[in-house]
Amino acid sequence: MRASNATPAAILSERAFVAGHRGLVGAALVRALARAGAPAPLLVEKARLDLRDGAAVESLFASERPGHVYLAAGKVGGIRANDAYPAEFIRDNLAIQTNVIHSAWRHGVRKFMFLGSSCIYPRLAEQPMHESCLLTGPLEPTNEWYAIAKIAGIKMCHAYRRQYGFNAICLMPTNLYGPGDNFSLEDSHVLPALIRRFHDAKCAGASEVVVWGTGRPRREFLHVDDLADAALHLMARYEGEDIVNVGTGTDLSIAELAALVQRAVGYGGALRFDASKPDGTPRKLLDVSRLHALGWRHRIAPEDGIRATYQWFLEHRSEVRSGATVRSAVAVPEPAAAAATAQPAVFAPDSERFAGAAAAASGVPTSRRENLGTTAAMLRA
Ligand code: GFB
């Protein structure tokens, strides 16, 4: 087993494994690694590897031995999906993170990134929510299953650090959005759901759009390219047990968000708030002072990010995720695919596609990528 005493900046020049590379966050991490000039990461198609299968995960790490790992795979969804599928949200996330963290440690991964969520904090936590408010009060009931799984992931990273010296860091992103999001009307998060609702209403000439809840809850939104940028920044510069919030430090009401999305889409009808739908947590705003002290700030303003995401949606209309059921970041293998996972080589790194990812447009102006430029310069140094 290799020692876990990585020099922070050097870690990015070792090959990464991005678990969940087809998801919103994983795809953004692949783009960020490409832009930073990092080596092509290990990417495994979910049809070939079920991350809930501990033996298959072991086999992957034993044969591939990545230098650092970003765990971006998991069961995710919006307020309705969390409430509707509690069993899958707790089981799949616990299984995936347990397998990946354990195998990463066993096979000498030098640095590991666990991605949590702002929903780990108590429902009525003091705002903005500092990292120290973890486990100081009851969770929001609509997403407590997901939150408990994420808290267990943080604690597993801490336990492996304390007992084995495993070099795992834990980031807690706020509500994310961007290209590659799930645009399902029922199971997605609010921002992509509203993009789709306003777009469909505009195309159909509908007179009103329904927005769930009262419109009063407040949320903080971070573009996923900013999150990926922060992830590389912290992977290269931060070592420690303390969890780190990743957000913008500003929030807005759902009614204000709906107005922003309506403007970006160009829908001229009315809004109706359906108070029979759950509001969820009244307010979720992260205290980002620890992140700022570590030298990172977000770049993408909500207006720009929402406009770019709508543009992405228009350009990828035929392929966007818009089904009515939650899609897992891992697939349950069909019998034939399950047999494939038993073979030693279950990985499918694709260097050509990775090189292309550097140029892949997420639609956000390149002038906003200064942090990544710094990371790239650091890699060249
Ligand atoms: O984004 P969202 O589903 O997640 O909902 P949470 C945020 C707010 O938007 C809630 C309202 O008050 C919703 O009632 N909303 C309005 C809508 N219209 C819609 C709509 O069409 N779709 C959706 N989905 N919401 C999630 C957690 O909570 O936050 C996850 O469930 C995760 O576990 C994520 O942690 C970051 O912010 O309420």
Please give the structure tokens belonging to residue 219: 């949320």
Among protein residues, the one with the nearest Cα to ligand 1's atom 6 is: 79
Nearest-CA neighbor of 176 among 185, 189, 166, 164? 189
Q: Residue 318 — pLDDT band, cuts 50, 70, 90?
A: confident
Judge whether 244 and 171 are in contact, CB under 8 Å: yes
Kindly give the distance from the C-alpha atom of residue 220 to the centroid of ligand 1, in angstroms, as a whole number: 11
Cβ < 6 A, ligand 1 pocket: 78-80, 82, 117-119, 142-143, 146, 175, 188-190, 193-194, 211-213, 217, 219, 254, 277-281, 284
Which of helix, strand or coil describes residue 68? Answer: strand
Residue labelled with tokens 């002072």: 289
Cβ count near 55 (within 10 Å): 11
Topology given in CATH for the domain delimited by 8-181+222-251+285-301+324-380: Rossmann fold (3.40.50)
Does 367 have pLDDT greater than 60?
A: no
Model confidence pLDDT, tens digit, residues 70-116: 999 999 999 999 999 999 999 999 999 999 999 999 999 999 999 99
The gap between the terminal CA atoms of the chain, to the nearest Å, is: 28
Model confidence pLDDT, tens digit, residues 201-257: 999 999 999 999 999 999 999 999 999 999 999 999 999 999 999 999 999 999 999
- Say which of 70, 85, 121, 146 is annotated catalytic: 146
Domain spans in the chain, listed from the N-terminal domain onward: 8-181+222-251+285-301+324-380
Q: What's this model's pTM, rounded to 2 decimal places?
A: 0.89
Among protein residues, the one with the nearest Cα to ligand 1's atom 10 is: 279
Which of helix, strand or coil describes residue 163? Answer: helix
Which class for 283: exposed (0-12), middle (13-18), buried (19 or more C-beta within 10 A)?
A: middle
Q: Are strands 208-212 and 244-246 parallel, antiparallel or unpaired?
A: unpaired
Model confidence pLDDT, tens digit, residues 3-42: 334 455 789 999 999 999 999 999 999 999 999 999 999 9
Does 343 have pLDDT greater than 50?
A: no
What pLDDT was estimated at residue 24? 98
- Distance from C-alpha of 160 to C-alpha of 210, rounded to nearest angstrom: 46
What pLDDT was estimated at residue 319? 84
Give every CB contact of residue 361 below 8 A, 6+ residues apart in sequence.
none
What pLDDT was estimated at residue 356? 56
What pLDDT was estimated at residue 111? 97
Model confidence pLDDT, tens digit, residues 159-210: 999 999 999 999 999 999 999 999 999 999 999 999 999 999 999 999 999 9
DSSP string for residues in 221-261? EEEHHHHHHHHHHHHHH--SSS-EEES-S--EEHHHHHHHH
Q: Mutation test of ligand 1: which of 120, 190, 284 has the most ligand atoms closer than 8 Å to its C-beta?
A: 190
Does 344 have pLDDT greater than 60?
A: no
Among protein residues, the one with the nearest Cα to ligand 1's atom 23 is: 190
What pLDDT was estimated at residue 353? 53
Cβ count near 202 (within 10 Å): 16
Omega into 179 within 30° of 0, i.e. cis? no
- Distance from C-alpha of 84 to C-alpha of 74, rounded to nearest angstrom: 16
What pLDDT was estimated at residue 358? 53
Does 363 have pLDDT greater than 70?
A: no
Does 373 have pLDDT greater than 80?
A: no
- Which amino acid type is present at position 25? V
Nearest-CA neighbor of 296 among 236, 250, 337? 236
Q: How many Å separate Cα 328 from the centre of its chain?
A: 13
Could you identify the atom of ligand 1 that is nearest to the CA of residue 211? Answer: 18
What pLDDT was estimated at residue 323? 53
Q: Residue 148 — pLDDT band, cuts 50, 70, 90?
A: very high
- Counting residues of the chain whose pLDDT is more than 90, the rounded percentage is 80
Which of helix, strand or coil describes residue 211? Answer: strand
What pLDDT was estimated at residue 252? 98
Confirm whether 146 is a catalytic residue.
Answer: yes
- Distance from C-alpha of 299 to C-alpha of 120, rounded to nearest angstrom: 25
CA angle in degrees (0–180, nearest 5) for 312-316-322: 100
Could you identify the atom of ligand 1 that is nearest to the CA of residue 210? Answer: 18
Does 315 have pLDDT greater than 90?
A: yes
